Structure 1
Amino acid sequence: MPNMKRSNASAAATVTVGAMVVATVLSGCGVVRGIMNDGVTDPITPEQSKTQVIDAAKDIVGILNLPVQSATFWRSSCNDQGEAPFRGRMLISYPLAPSFEASDAEVARWVEQLKTQGWTTDPTAHTHGALLTKNGVSATFGPQSVSDTQRDLELLGECRDLTTTKQTAGGNEDISLR
């Protein structure tokens, strides 16, 4: 009789595992992806994460006719461990204004102009610059500083790239936005 109990338990375990495999196959890879994606519900490829921030940068530069001195793209981890998920990042440098006041006024005009083109502000966000978002990308105009030789606009894409790793993130890449 003890062998019978063991056989029944073994058969039940086999049926349970089989049912899980069938459920996963029938529901597609979504179940497995949901378990393995660190909470990312709609992952994107490394190329999509790059395109996301470059398209946003081109949008801003085109709307404002921003005089770009340099534009640099890189991928960064969204956590302190350097693990997935990753996102695309850009830093766009443009000339200093004649004064801090002129810079502040210019950025304020730009924010209003960008808001007419679908960019939004978040009054609850705390930053040293002017922060806008559109299509999952955050753009921050940093304040002009005494020690800087240029002003910067930083763009951060969404943390949805699960493919990039520390080893494949690569380095900085100069980008032409015109």
Structure 2
Amino acid sequence: MTSQTNRTGALAMIAALAMTTVTGCGLMKSDADKVSNPLTPEQSEDQVIDAAHETVATLGLQVTNASVWHASCNDQGDPPFRGQLRLSYPPPAAGAGNPIDQIVQKLKAQGWTDAQDFATHGTALEKNNIVAVFAPGNAINANYSIEFFGECRDITTTKDTKGRVEPITLT
């Protein structure tokens, strides 16, 4: 091969990478225009609060704290947003077996199913398009937690209007 051929090949590769980069940025725009039947911010929050209330009642959990917020459904912080809620509860008594397995079985009896399309390292269930992810306690926080993820249908909320994490009471 001649140096001219190598140079032409290198320039073609640089041009292809540049096109990929430019095209990729275009694909990272907001998905808000793809949302059919959008939710209001209040409705997106109510989705996860209702799911958390149902879960707490079904399991008889003693909630030590709970918080709700609006989270972007993409890494850029653009719409659409969804309601998100995390609750914590004390660990079970020693020797009680795997508490998350027990919780999963109780919730499956109430219509929750395995969340097939939700990527997580924890156990995830889904019901009415709401995903619940279960996490055991750890060295820093002995409490167990459940995090609820609502549907990505809130196109009204923005980075500037998403608000803060708000503590709530689930009783």
Which TM class, normalised by the smaller chain length?
0.7 to 0.9
| Contact 1:128/1:143 (<8 A) preserved | no
CA 1:87–1:147: 2 relative to 1, 3 Å:
same
SS of 1:110 mapped into structure 2: helix
- TM-score, normalisation: structure 2: 0.76
Contact 1:92 1:152 in 2 (8 A): yes
- What's the CA shift for 1:123? 5.4
> Could you tell me which amino acid in structure 2 is paired with residue 86 of structure 1?
F
1:73, distance to aligned residue in structure 2 (A): 0.3
CA RMSD of aligned residues (A): 1.9
* Alpha-carbon distance in 2 for matches of 1:140, 1:63: 16
Q: Which has the larger radius of gyration?
A: 1
Runs of 4 or more above 4 Å deviation: 123-126
Where is the helix percentage greater, Structure 1 or Structure 2? 1
The equivalent residue for 1:97 is 92
**1:126–1:161 distance in 2 versus 1, CA, 3 Å:** closer
> Which residue identity lines up with residue 85 of structure 1 in the other structure?
P
Query: Does 2:129 match 1:166?
Result: no
Cα distance in 1 for residues equivalent to 2:45 and 2:118: 24
What is the CA distance between 1:98 and its match in structure 2? 4.5
Do 1:128 and 1:142's aligned partners in 2 also have CA atoms closer than 8 Å? Answer: no
Alpha-carbon distance in structure 2 between the residues aligned to 1:167 and 1:146 = 35
Q: 2-side partners of 1:108 and 1:145: how far apart?
A: 17
Match of 2:54 in 1: 59
1:7-156 matches, within 5 Å, as: 37-98=32-93, 102=96, 105-122=98-115, 126-156=119-149
Tell me the CA shift for residue 125 of structure 1. 5.0
For residues 98 and 114 of structure 1, the distance between their equivalents in structure 2, rounded to whole angstroms, comes to 20
Aligned identity (percent) is 46
The 1:39/1:118 distance shift into structure 2, 3 A limit, reads same
TM-score (norm 1): 0.73
Distance 1:107 1:116 in 2: 14
8 Å Cα contact 1:89-1:154 kept in structure 2: yes
Which amino acid is 2:165 matched to? N
Partner of 2:21: none
Which amino acid counterpart does residue 141 of structure 1 have in structure 2?
Answer: F
Describe the superposition over 1:145-168 as per-residue Cα deviations: whole angstroms up to 9, x where unpaired. 233231111110011000001111
Query: Which ranges of structure 1 fall in alignment gaps of 5 or more residues?
Result: 1-35
Aligned residues: 141
- Spell out, residue by residue over 1:115-145, the C-alpha distance to the aligned partner (whole angstroms, 9 max, x if none): 1111111356553322111111100111332
Give 5+ residue unaligned stretches, structure 2.
Answer: 1-30
